Amino acid sequence: MSTTTQTTAAAKDLLGLYSVEVTGRDKKGIEAAQQMAPKGTEVFVANLPNDNMDRLVAACTVLGKAGLTPVPHMVARNTASKEELDDTLARLVGEAGITRALILGGDRDTPVGPFDASIQLIQTGLFEKHGLKKVAIGIHPETHPRVPDEIMHAAQPIKVREAESRGLEVYLVSQFAFESQPFIDMARRLRAAGLTNPIRPGVAGPTSTAKLIKFALMCGVGASLRALREKENLAGNMLSGETPEALIAELAAAQAAEPSLGFDSIHFFTFGALDKSVELAEQLKRA
């Protein structure tokens, strides 16, 4: 089997259980997920600082009724109280039928309530109380825009072990980046820390140049963005809003060569164009 054929096969494997992300306000994206995404696809629903829980519950309910798997973002700094978290999880389970959630600290400078870190949400015990068996925890392949590396790196194993001690199965979903090496380095670091949980690298789905740069800088992937600009062949694709095919191929090749990395799939950040991400993923699976 040629190297190209092996890489293509590995990319198909990596896209077998891909996930996508929308916001509760993204009606176009939610409709596209209902119409285009394969049944069972995980659709992550962002919990933005100015959103309310009603919108989050409503979006997850629509997605669940469409046969998809909604994964709400539960964000520490956006949570007003333990009582609000309790009520929201009760509604998400009861109305939307969620079975899992993504637990994040959040980027809000000042928390709206008593929580400022994701581990505090885990420690409430409310996820297992409401019957969730599986949670995702956010990780960063590059420097977090607000949290120093040493603090973030030390906290990750603690969060995972806290969740697992409560009977929760944990998988790790990353922020997006534009190069494969940050993902590889991140995975090796987590494995060296003793974590064996599946890692889902985040990639930027097809979008406009302006939107891509805006979100890249907001999310702290500036180093990767700058490196891309030095690689004209790859930057020409990503920065013109085409596709992340080359990055997915690199990640697939790295996983095939080093199975201990534990990349289990791809998570698409869709930036209001979920249809394009699903089209790309399905096209690459058929290649």
**pLDDT over threshold 50, residue 96:** yes
Question: How many C-beta atoms lie closer than 10 Å to residue 52's C-beta?
Answer: 13
Mean pLDDT, rounded, for 202-222: 69
Residue span of the structural domain in which 260 resides: 3-286
Residue 233 banded pLDDT, cuts 50, 70, 90: very low
pLDDT of 4 = 52
Mean pLDDT, the chain, rounded, equals: 88
**At 3, is the pLDDT very low, low, confident or very high (cuts 50, 70, 90)?**
very low
Q: How many CB atoms neighbour CB 83 within 10 A?
A: 10
Query: Between these two residues, 101 and 145, which has the higher pLDDT value?
Result: 101
Residue 231 has what pLDDT? 46
Q: pLDDT band at residue 222, thresholds of 50, 70 and 90?
A: low
| Mean pLDDT across 180-207 | 95
Rounded to an integer, the average pLDDT of 94-106 is 96
Question: Mean per-residue pLDDT for 243-264?
Answer: 92
φ and ψ at residue 213, rounded to 5 degrees = -65, -40
Residue 109 pLDDT class (50, 70, 90 cuts): confident
Say how many domains are in the chain.
1
pTM: 0.89
pLDDT of residue 229: 54
Q: What is the mean pLDDT of residues 162-189?
A: 95
Q: What is the pLDDT of residue 224?
A: 55
pLDDT at 243 over 90: no
SS3 call for 22: strand
Band of residue 240 on the pLDDT scale cut at 50, 70, 90? very low
| For residue 147, pLDDT beyond 70 | yes
Q: Which residue has the higher pLDDT, 107 or 225?
A: 107
Is the confidence at residue 214, as pLDDT, over 60? yes
Provide the pLDDT for residue 52: 86
Smallest CA-to-CA distance from 32 within 1, 2, 59 is with 59
Three-state DSSP class for 286?
helix
For residues 7-15, give the mean pLDDT. Answer: 79
Length of the chain measured in residues: 287
Q: What string of H, E and C letters represents the secondary structure of 164-201? A: HHCCCEEEEEEEECCCHHHHHHHHHHHHHCCCCCCEEE
Contacts of 6 (CB under 8 A, 6+ apart): 253, 256
> Environment class of residue 210 by beta-carbon count within 10 Å: exposed (0-12), middle (13-18) or buried (19+)?
exposed
**CATH code of residue 108:** 3.20.20.220
In a 10 Å sphere around its CB, with 0-12 CB exposed, 13-18 middle and 19+ buried, how is residue 269 labelled?
A: buried
C-alpha pair distances (Å), 50 with each of 44, 173, 175: 17, 23, 21
Residues 135-153, mean pLDDT to the nearest whole number? 84
